[in-house]
Amino acid sequence: MQNFMEPKRVALIGISRRSGAGSFNLMENMRAFGFGGEIFPVNPNADRILGQRAYANVKEIKKEIDLAVISSPRETTLDILKDCIAAKIKAAIVVNQGFNDADRLGREMQQEMAEIARQDGIRILGPNTLGVINGFNNFTTSFMPVVKDRTPVGLICQSGIHFVGPQMFSGRFGKAIDLGNACDVGFYDALAYFGQDPEIKIIAIHMEGLNQGKDFLSLAASVVKDKPIVVHKSGSSKTGARAAVSHTGSIAGDYRLLRAALKQAGVTFLDEGGQMPHAMKTLLNLPLMRGNRVGVITYSGGAGIMVSDGLEKHNLQLAAFSEETIDQLAALSPQWLPLTNPLDIWPAVMLHSARRAYSVALKAVLNDPNVDGVICIALAPLPEFSFLDVSETLNTVMDEFPTRKPVIVWTYGPNTVEVQKRFESRNRIMVYSTLELATWALSLLRDRYKAIYRDRKS
Amino acid sequence: MQNFMEPKRVALIGISRRSGAGSFNLMENMRAFGFGGEIFPVNPNADRILGQRAYANVKEIKKEIDLAVISSPRETTLDILKDCIAAKIKAAIVVNQGFNDADRLGREMQQEMAEIARQDGIRILGPNTLGVINGFNNFTTSFMPVVKDRTPVGLICQSGIHFVGPQMFSGRFGKAIDLGNACDVGFYDALAYFGQDPEIKIIAIHMEGLNQGKDFLSLAASVVKDKPIVVHKSGSSKTGARAAVSHTGSIAGDYRLLRAALKQAGVTFLDEGGQMPHAMKTLLNLPLMRGNRVGVITYSGGAGIMVSDGLEKHNLQLAAFSEETIDQLAALSPQWLPLTNPLDIWPAVMLHSARRAYSVALKAVLNDPNVDGVICIALAPLPEFSFLDVSETLNTVMDEFPTRKPVIVWTYGPNTVEVQKRFESRNRIMVYSTLELATWALSLLRDRYKAIYRDRKS
């Protein structure tokens, strides 16, 4: 994979003579992304492309090329691959559609492509792929514009949609590999690369169909001890599976069997693709949860009820607070207030101040030996009511507090976007848009704790 | 309910002498909200409040008061209610906590409050409530700051959280009634009011426990023929139900029975509170869907697969496009492209233009007699790639197109917030943040169609 992710010299075969907006010129895009290596454009119909000498054939370059990126009509692709082999190129990305994703002729051509890769010592990524992104060394082969980022997330996918709209799927990521139709390079290869990559701390995978299944599962079981692996498998339905065949030619396989096998390997498996960015942020930033017992601190009794529903759904439970915790809150609350979990601190807020009440409550709950994780429900007020904003207060408690328990916040009010940013500013507390998501996020931390430590116990 | 929602003269009993930020002075809040009627502050320890004469007792006012808003320690509340009756006031809101939501003494006091309401011709909203909001006549009794809005949504709830953070629950609303502990005014009364209110087109309900159950259900079955009613019931879990008792003293009841009864009445029932804003926007703006058959147009094969999964989950199906539809797209696409549903138009976009390809595709799919509703998957590009943004194109097709089928958009890319706004700018197309939500939204429109027309068929 190193040739794909960290090349020094790249040949762009079938690169367009057009440039500027709307041309999707890969060479232009690659330069704009900051690639510092050498680029060799190959196009038999041009002498110069973007001011650089263009070659008629990759064999004319006469330098050691690490990677060829091929964007040319499907009819020409197999011959170009043979030229690459003649030029001793060890890695090629085939961008174009029209293979297993298309008709019978396309399937035959992909079959031949796979054989070339098996026999001739070249590794092929694709076809039907945007290739790779490596934000850590400013390299991408995507002809669609992509965002540069160095978040330690490695993404493995089969559709360019994940490159173009990352915030809808994986959230931010620093490196990505689009397997496309996966004629050769597959999930195992990509996982092996990210598994040993010190710049990557967590791995997000969107698969349509799993190739290299057995090897992948045993590798995943090993990688997951160090780095969380989060998988969403699309094509879970009958109609979705049929659509997957037409998209990348994937055989979607039995969804339930695959889910069971991945969970068994310790992988975090998502039922909905939209959960991915939330899962990544949770597992990247929060400590694991050692048990099921959740303490809830709330400004609102109504929200306390909703959070209870969410906890039960995810097999979590309301912690039974210790007497010490209750006593500390009782000292701030009116006598008639029933102090249980969820802990309604609004009366204490009205009697004292939001910051004092929340600070006392969070410290008490974090100190409570009966609590494994905490959900805080708080207002996101407009600036003129900033005395009700406890983001700074809670972050300070987290900084001072020695033990590691996950703390999750849910906010409501007119200023949620801004206040959520403040809560997350130190990466100690994470915020979720619904209480359902908040409770689900805690369950991921509990599940991962269980998955990692179950073997050590026995 | 008219005295609560449209009063001319309001007495504020137990109103604070403090004002300004942090005082939560209701009189100040009411004026800031634009209330044009007369306000009579009542506080035995003040001569003037915010420049107005303060009365020691409500009985001294000597004018016909439509509504009393009582914010005073719980020990004083019953006596104040008796004063209100003596002053011939017909409606009172009890803001304070400390009744069924608290201890035994509180429960006894609420019991007495309910008896006062039954016997003495006064209606009581609360206790433990922020009261009402009526954006259409600039009236609110909320001491927490709330947003003024005239969206034709009526909200009925049991927690102030819905007033303070509407975007997390119901989305925008023009009128709201917080029943709090609901000692007297209940779900039936509030629904009856919104049911006949010409300014309200759709009703959002968050209930902790349903009082007035039998009457409510038969009223709902009637109202729902004209106006969608969307219900989220919190306290669905055992722990949530216990928390509901401690919050408003509600008996949460059997969740499954209630859900079945509400669905039978034609109500849209939500399993998660976070779905509410999406449900409101869907049912308020989109036409109903007459069947299960969905046409999908997509820039991305990967997204086409995910949407297929979502459709199956909600008992929707991919429409089998007519030959005419396929022929129109075939004329724009490369020959090798398999044209099915989901309809991958990216190759046509690359060969022609995004606007031409999407315009042809949407018209063809809307015209297709095999299609009941449409999901469009499109890019949200940065301004320099605006030629890929089809929001204006799709809105124009909708304006020109005579039949009424719901069209839903899902976008991915670096500029989703802005492009989503553009899509929704004419209220013809609605946008959702995940494909799961998008398919679920269509299922609401199908379910409501079924609920309304099932009786007419038989």
pLDDT, tens digit (0-9, with 9 covering 90-100), for A346-355: 889 888 899 9
- CB spacing of B338 vs A312 below 8 angstroms: no
Round to whole Å and give the CA distance between B248 and A20: 63
- Look at residue B219 in the predicted model and tell me its pLDDT: 97
Report helix angle B435-457 to B301-313, nearest 10.
40
The architecture CATH gives domain A1-127:
3-Layer(aba) Sandwich (3.40)
With a cut of 50, list the residues of chain B below it in pLDDT: 458
- Mean pLDDT score of chain A, rounded to an integer? 92
Which amino acid, residue B50?
L
**Whether the complex's predicted ipTM surpasses the cut of 0.90:** no
Contact A159 B303 (CB under 8 A): yes
CATH 3.40.50.720 domain locations along chain A: 1-127
CA distance B200 to B221: 17
CB-CB: which of B239, B300, B317 is closest to A312? B239
**Minimal Cα distance from A147: which residue of B?**
B414
Q: Which of A157, A305, A415 to mutate to probe the B interface, most B CBs <10 Å?
A: A305
| Alpha-carbon distance A204 to nearest alpha carbon in chain B (angstroms) | 16
**What's the token pair of residue B301?**
């094969």
Q: Which residue has the tokens 């792929």?
A: A129
B234 interaction partners in chain A (CB closer than 8 Å): 302, 305-306, 309
Cα–Cα distance for residue pair B3/A268, rounded to 1 Å? 55
Give the number of C-alpha atoms closer than 13 A to the C-alpha of residue A225, restricted to the C-beta side. Answer: 9
Contact flag B164-A312 (C-beta cutoff 8 Å): no
Q: Is the dihedral of CA A396, A399, A400, A405 positive or negative?
A: positive
Which chain B residues contact residue A160 at CB under 8 A? 300, 302
Do the Cβ atoms of B306 and A21 come within 8 Å? no
The pTM (predicted TM-score) of the whole model is 0.89
Fold adopted by A149-285: Rossmann fold (3.40.50)
Nearest to B309 among A234, A416, A433 (CB): A234
The highest-confidence range among A221-225, A332-336, A345-349, by mean pLDDT, is A221-225
- Distance of residue B398 Cα from the nearest chain A Cα, in angstroms: 26
Query: How much is the pLDDT for B397?
Result: 96
Q: Å from B220 to nearest chain A CA?
A: 23
Q: Is 90 exceeded by the pLDDT of residue A199?
A: yes
Of B162, B238, B299, the CB nearest to A312: B238
Which of the residue ranges A77-86, A423-432, B396-405 would you say has the lowest mean pLDDT? B396-405
Say whether A237 and B308 touch across the interface (CB within 8 A): yes
Q: Which residues pair with A379 in a beta bridge?
A: A412
pLDDT of residue B133: 97
Give the pLDDT score at B362.
97
With CB atoms and an 8 Å threshold, state whether B336 touches A102.
Answer: yes
User: What pairing do the DSSP bridges indicate for beta strands B48-49 and B52-53?
Assistant: antiparallel
pLDDT score recorded for residue A115: 95
* Probe site for chain A from B305, B349, B431, B440 (most A CB atoms < 10 A): B305
Task: Give the number of A-B residue pairs with CB atoms closer than 8 Å.
Answer: 220
Q: Which two tokens stand for residue B235?
A: 């306290």
pLDDT in tens, B144-195: 889 899 999 999 999 988 998 877 677 889 999 999 999 999 999 999 999 9
Contacts 24+ apart (CB under 8 A), B108-116: B109/B74, B109/B77, B109/B78, B110/B181, B110/B183, B110/B249, B112/B78, B113/B77, B113/B78, B113/B81, B113/B183, B113/B184, B114/B183, B114/B184, B116/B78, B116/B81, B116/B82, B116/B85
pLDDT, average across residues A245-267: 79
Which segment of A229-238, A271-280, A385-394, B292-301 scores lowest on mean pLDDT? A229-238
Q: Would you call A285 exposed, middle or buried from its count of C-beta atoms within 10 A (0-12, 13-18, 19+)?
A: middle
CA distance B237 to chain A (A): 5
Q: Quote the minimal CA–CA distance from A23 to chain B in Å.
A: 10
Instruction: Give the pLDDT score at A117.
Output: 94
Does the pLDDT value for residue A238 go beyond 90?
no
Select the residue of B106, B165, B242 nearest A336 (Cβ to Cβ): B106
Task: Give SS3 for A379.
Answer: strand
pLDDT for the residue numbered A165:
82
> Mutating which of B133, B144, B309, B318 best tests the A interface, going by the most A Cβ atoms within 10 A?
B309
**Contact between A433 and B168 using a beta-carbon 8 Å cutoff:** yes
Q: Is pLDDT at A248 greater than 70 in this prediction? A: no
CA B13 to chain centre: 31
For A9-60, how does the pLDDT look when each residue is reduced to its tens digit (9 = 90+)? 999 999 988 888 778 899 999 999 999 999 999 999 999 999 999 999 999 9
CA–CA gap between residue B260 and residue B379 (Å, rounded): 40
> Which residues are CB-contacts of B280 (< 8 A; sequence separation ≥ 6)?
B153, B170, B171, B172, B173, B202, B204, B230
Helix, strand or coil, per DSSP, at residue B295: strand
Distance from CA of B149 to the nearest CA of A (A): 13
* CB neighbours of residue A112 within 10 Å: 15
- Check whether the bond before B198 is cis (ω within 30° of 0): no
Residue-level pLDDT at A407 = 97
Contact A156, A187 (CB under 8 A): yes
For the domain B287-457, what is the CATH code?
A: 3.40.50.261
- Angstrom distance (rounded) from CA A143 to CA B92: 66
| Start and end residues for every CATH 3.40.50.261 domain found in chain A | 149-285, 287-457
B165:A105 CB<8 A: no
Tell me: the pLDDT tens digits for A118-177? 888 899 999 999 999 999 999 999 998 898 999 999 999 998 889 988 776 778 899 999
Question: What pairs with residue A153 in β-bridges?
Answer: A202
Chain A residues with CB-CB distance to B162 below 8 A: 302
Please indicate whether, in this complex, the C-beta atoms of B342 and A274 are within 8 angstroms of each other. Answer: no
> Which of B142, B298, B306, B345 has the most A C-beta neighbours within 10 Å, making it the best mutation to test the interface with A?
B306
Report whether A441 contacts A280 (CB < 8 A): no
Q: In terms of CA atoms, which chain B residue is nearest residue A319?
A: B239
